Structure 1
Amino acid sequence: MLMSQSDREARLRYMANSFRVLVPGDHVTCAVSGERIPLDRLRYWSVERQEPYASAELSAKAEFATR
């Protein structure tokens, strides 16, 4: 029987302009808000920290918090 990837968190390797799926799934969790981000809507992440973000604002918040 095939397993569905829906409702399963993916593990990704974040690169400069893309990401690579290490463990299949349909979403990741925002490192700042805890919000669920569908992979087809993932636009913001940190290569350095290997973290996904739900929005540009949350990405900036994470960046400023580490300084």
Structure 2
Amino acid sequence: MNRVEFPGRGGGEAVIEYLDGDFQVVKSGSFVRCAITGQTILLPHDLKYWSVARQEAYVDAAASLEAEQRAHGRR
């Protein structure tokens, strides 16, 4: 994670590259949006769930599970 990117974050939406066990800030911002709920996820501390394959963030484990089910046609 690029902690250097977060001070003075600005108020906008960040662009993130999701990696295995980490993420890289592409464009600074104070939040990302959950791909399932649309809720904001504050950076860096609230971002705990994401998909490397789909390059999406999720607000919680339930949203992550729903994304996985949708990706595999189970919903």
What is the TM-score when the length of structure 2 is the normalising length? 0.81
Q: How many residues align?
A: 64
Indicate the residue corresponding to 1:31 in structure 2.
Answer: 35
**Is 1:51 matched up with 2:75?**
no
Q: In the aligned structure 2, how far is the partner of 1:29 from the partner of 1:65? A: 18
Partner of 2:4: none
The gaps in structure 2 that reach 5 residues or longer are: 1-7
Q: Secondary structure at the match of 1:28?
A: strand
Q: Cα distance, 1:7 vs. partner?
A: 1.9
- Tell whether the 8 Å contact from 2:10 to 2:28 is kept in structure 1 after alignment: no
Partner of 2:15: 11
What TM-score do the two structures reach when normalised by structure 1? Answer: 0.91
**Alignment equivalent of 1:64, drawn from 47, 62, 69:** 69
Q: In structure 2, what residue type is equivalent to 1:33?
A: T
In 2, distance between residues paired with 1:29 and 1:18?
A: 17
Could you report, residue by residue, the CA deviation over 1:7-42 in whole angstroms, capped at 9, with x for unpaired residues?
210000000100000000010000000000001210
Runs of 4+ in 1 over 3 A off after TM superposition: none
